[in-house]
Amino acid sequence: MLAYILRRLLHALPILIGVNLITFALFFVVNTPDDMARMQLGIKRVTPEAIARWKAERGYDRPLIWNEKAEGLGKATNTIFFAKSVRMFAGDFGRADDGRDIAREIRMRMGPSLAIALPVFLLGLYASVSFALLLVFFRGTVLDFWGVAACVALMSISSLFYIIGGQFLVSKLWHLVPISGYGEGLDVARFLALPVIISVLAGLGSSARWYRTIFLEEIGKDYVRTARAKGLSELAVLFGHVLRNAMIPILTGVVVVIPLLFMGSLITESFFGIPGLGSYTIDAINAQDFAVVKAMVFIGSMLYIVGLLLTDISYTLVDPRVRFER
Amino acid sequence: MSLPFLPVLLWTDALLFALLAAAVAAGFYVRRREYLMLAWRRVAGDGLGMAAATVLALFLVVGLLDSLHYRSRLEGAGTVWSVEVESALDALAEPLRRQVEKTYSAPLADRLFSKETLERPDGSQVRDYPRLKWGAAHLSDPEAGLAGDVARRMVKGEAVGLVLWLLIVAAVTRTVARRESISPGEAWRRIRRRETPWAWRSVLLTLGVMLFLAAPLAALSGHYHVFGTDKVGQDVFFLTLKSIRTALVIGTLTTLIMLPFAAALGILAGYLGGWVDDVIQYVYTTLNSIPGVLLIAAAVLMMQVVIDNHPQWFATAAERADARLLALCFILGITSWTGLCRLLRGEALKLRELEFIQAARAFGVSPGGIMLRHILPNVMHIVLISLVMDFSGLVLAEAVLSYVGIGVDPNTVSFGTMINAARMELAREPAVWWSLAAAFSFMLALVLSANLFADSVRDAFDPRLRART
């Protein structure tokens, strides 16, 4: 098991290096630091000195990949590529445009992000699996038809509509919860209730429909007929057999997103004013803070790779046939 | 000969029309091949799918009209063209575009949404809601006559709509009667009972509903702002119509642009295997591991820098906005092609071992020939399914991205920019709801019908699914 995890981590390394190279190319080769400086400073204040100062403040005044002037190892390390991209492997993300340390900011904002993403994930999974099981239990009936129709309708509505409509209805008209914001301690629940419910609802349609297809695929198999033939009730078949066997395809889609929960949800966080990583990213995008966006891209891919690894491990837990010694 | 206008072909226009031409060509190709017609017949026989297709077709007409761009000649200036790029839709809806109010006004209102200081004829000043410049301007006493006038126009519009619908019904009945060599009465009976091979009843019903909804809009829009006006006084109905093109462009061109790459790489990886497979898998796993929104954000930020630093590339503002729209399609494509590529790789892997491919190999057909002539046609149904399945997701994504500020150019009218501009106004008292309502309901109609049509196409083309039910 441990050997397998180590091997998988080694496989992940080239992917991380690839991501690193892509972000480097995107941020520093497509546009030179000069272009970025010109964009940030605006058209009026562009003088060669201003650009030079902007670059020096952020450490962009080095050569891209190879520093001819430096001594020894410095030829490779005293460059933009090493300072801004390679050092991300060591958890050094540099500073944002407002001078704050990005790594510290990320550690601080992880909590609020998780506080909203975790309940959404668990409740959403619970709601959509139960809804899908319900539809499968009533398969072929009118209830099934209208249930699927409701799913299609739910997934056709823009997520912005859920948020804007929910805020308008619940917060402005009914005054049940605050429109946006974030608090300390138990007070948090008041702020989180609405975004959690809205996010669960927004994701319900597509995932319930997806789980329903998975369950229907399982239910046509021979072992289900055998289970029924030996006299099990339909509920016992559904929960004891179909649900357990459908775990593999469900896990494939679900486990991968668990690490990404740290990243938060961009839209929800920014609409509800939750000081998590999602709103941090959006603010950075709006302020065109390249360093922050670059850091988030790198962290996001790292978490995704962790998610892939977790998916593989979770297979062994639900399916004893899957073994890692190969 | 000199035209009164200068045709302008934006990049997205060209690609949209190329897509249309390809679709028409594919239609002729499929018509002559019975085995390909089979699946399409199944789509045509599906009531819900055809109803959705009808709605989509109407959206498509609006979008294509809005893609015929031109620059009009400036008055008395010889061969000097206006810098403003207009479209055929602009020309058709000329009054809607021109009738700009000062700021917000409610749907069918005769007065502005906010109070202003007005001067009475006797010189005294009063705070009141001023009359609109265009909306209900033809009425001398709106308080008394507005409701009656609206009702009258609506009835008139519905009457025209009904006549139009009856004409369409008659034409369809005639066509069915001709094709099946039966009397029109018999054809009508079959359509009504849904006994025709094509689901004509659904199409006609949908058209009826659409005409019922659209006729009063058309009848009223000349003299009223049917959906109200936005912050700078533009007619919301007109903006909604303009948004359709942006949504269609993003929904179709994104998949289209990346299609060649996804298909080529997927088939190469699956058929050749070995190190080619390894490299291609590495590329898409790497791209896939970057969260989509962040990759899009990073790429859009960079693209903005490029566009802002090269203003000399674009002759008009429309061209710059168009370049940004196309670039957005590219960027969305880069993040979404991996799914299709993986599917095609799996399918090619499976096909490689089948007898007919083995036979082709035994006859000495080159690998390139096999991939092009034998594997590609056999994975086309997957390409088609993913093209229609991706559409609705992309339309929804555009709205979200535009909200985040990494979507289309702020000057491009789209559902996303409309929502973004109007979302704070719900907090006003009374709330300004009409912009949001119009954008969301049109978007819902488009995405819902796209979803339903996609389901219908998938059911018809996916043999695996058909075997199960």
Q: Which are the contacts of A4, defined by CB distance < 8 A and separation ≥ 6?
A: A324, A325
pTM, full prediction: 0.89
* Chain A residues touching B288 at Cβ < 8 A: 304
Closest residue in A to B297 (Cα) is: A285
Determine the CATH number of domain A102-318: 1.10.3720.10
Q: Which are the contacts of A109, defined by CB distance < 8 A and separation ≥ 6?
A: A264, A275, A276, A277, A280
Q: Is B443 on the interface with A (CB under 8 A)?
A: yes
Residue B89 clears pLDDT 80, i.e. is over it: yes
pLDDT in tens, A277-308: 888 888 888 877 878 888 888 888 888 888 88
Nearest to A285 among B289, B404, B431 (CB): B404
Beta-carbon separation of A266 and B302 below 8 A: no
* Chain B residues touching A14 at Cβ < 8 A: 282
Question: Residue B78: what pLDDT?
Answer: 65
Q: Which of A73-87, B150-164, B209-223, B352-366 has the lowest mean pLDDT?
A: A73-87
* Chain A residues touching B415 at Cβ < 8 A: 158
pLDDT tier, B77 (very low <50, low <70, confident <90, very high otherwise): low
Nearest to A15 among B289, B293, B294 (CB): B289
Closest CA to B347 of B377, B323, B319: B377
Nearest to A156 among B282, B309, B448 (CB): B448
pLDDT in tens, B294-315: 888 888 877 887 887 777 887 7
Question: Residue B241: what pLDDT?
Answer: 92
- What DSSP state is assigned to residue A83? I
Beta-carbon separation of A297 and B295 below 8 A: yes
* Chain A residues touching B399 at Cβ < 8 A: 158, 160
Q: Give, for B283, the enclosing helix (H) or strand (E).
A: helix B274-289
Q: How far apart are CA B229 and CA B432, in angstroms?
A: 10
Beta-carbon separation of A285 and B285 below 8 A: no
Question: Averaged over B13-35, what is the pLDDT?
Answer: 89
Question: Residue A200: what pLDDT?
Answer: 92
Nearest to B403 among A160, A168, A294 (CB): A160
Question: Averaged over A182-207, what is the pLDDT?
Answer: 85
Beta-carbon separation of A36 and B290 below 8 A: no
Which domains, and CATH codes, for chain B? 236-468 (1.10.3720.10)
Task: Let me know: does B395 contact B450? Beta carbons within 8 Å.
Answer: yes
Residue B271 DSSP SS3: helix
Q: What angle do CA A173, A174, A179 make, to 5 degrees?
A: 75
Higher-confidence position of B401 and A45: B401
**A 168-207: CB under 8 A from B:** 168, 172
Calculate Rg over the CA atoms of chain A: 25
Q: Is B455 on the interface with A (CB under 8 A)?
A: yes
Beta-carbon separation of A39 and B282 below 8 A: no
Strand order in the sheet with B81-87: B5-8, B69-73, B81-87
User: CA quadruple B367, B373, B377, B383: dihedral positive or negative?
Assistant: positive
Beta-carbon separation of A297 and B282 below 8 A: no
* Chain A residues touching B294 at Cβ < 8 A: 281, 293, 296-297, 300
Closest residue in B to A38 (Cα) is: B309
Residue A80 DSSP SS3: helix
Query: H helices within B66-138, ranges in order?
Result: 88-92, 94-98
Q: Is B424 on the interface with A (CB under 8 A)?
A: no
**B 266-305: CB under 8 A from A:** 282-283, 285-291, 293-295, 297-299, 301-302, 304-305
User: By 3-state DSSP, what share of chain B in percent is helix, strand and coil, each rounded to 5?
Assistant: 70, 5, 25
pLDDT tier, B273 (very low <50, low <70, confident <90, very high otherwise): confident
pLDDT tier, A75 (very low <50, low <70, confident <90, very high otherwise): low
Task: Let me know: does A269 contact A181? Beta carbons within 8 Å.
Answer: no
Question: Averaged over A102-128, what is the pLDDT?
Answer: 90
ipTM reported for the complex, 2 dp: 0.84
Beta-carbon separation of A220 and B295 below 8 A: no
Nearest to B299 among A26, A160, A305 (CB): A26
Question: Residue B465: what pLDDT?
Answer: 55
**B 6-45: CB under 8 A from A:** none
Percentage above 70 pLDDT, chain B: 97
**A 203-242: CB under 8 A from B:** 216-217, 220
Nearest to B444 among A31, A157, A281 (CB): A157
pLDDT tier, A70 (very low <50, low <70, confident <90, very high otherwise): low
Q: Which of A88-102, A117-131, B48-62, B330-344 has the lowest mean pLDDT?
A: A88-102
Amino acid present at A308:
L
Beta-carbon separation of B298 and A18 below 8 A: no
**A 109-168: CB under 8 A from B:** 152-153, 155-161, 164, 167-168
Higher-confidence position of A150 and B403: A150
Q: Which residues of A124-133 are buried (b: 16+ CB within 10 A; e: fewer)?
A: bbebbbebbb
Instruction: State how far residue B412 is from chain A, nearest Cα, in angstroms.
Output: 18
Q: Which are the contacts of B284, defined by CB distance < 8 A and separation ≥ 6?
A: B265, B337, B338, B341, B342
Residue B421 clears pLDDT 90, i.e. is over it: no
pLDDT in tens, A159-179: 889 988 888 888 888 888 887
Beta-carbon separation of A293 and B301 below 8 A: yes
Burial class (CB in 10 A: 0-12, 13-18, 19+), B211: buried
Question: Residue A153: what pLDDT?
Answer: 92
Q: What is the mean pLDDT of chain B?
A: 86
pLDDT in tens, B277-294: 999 989 888 888 888 888
Beta-carbon separation of A156 and B298 below 8 A: no
Q: How far apart are CA A304 and CA A255, in angstroms?
A: 10
pLDDT in tens, B207-217: 999 999 998 88
Beta-carbon separation of A285 and B287 below 8 A: no
Q: Where exactly are the structural domains of chain A?
A: 102-318
Q: Is B454 on the interface with A (CB under 8 A)?
A: no
Question: Residue B359: what pLDDT?
Answer: 92
Instruction: State how far residue B305 is from chain A, nearest Cα, in angstroms.
Output: 6
Question: Residue A76: what pLDDT?
Answer: 66
**A 9-68: CB under 8 A from B:** 14-15, 18-19, 22-23, 26-27, 30-31, 35-36, 38-39
Residue B178 DSSP SS3: helix
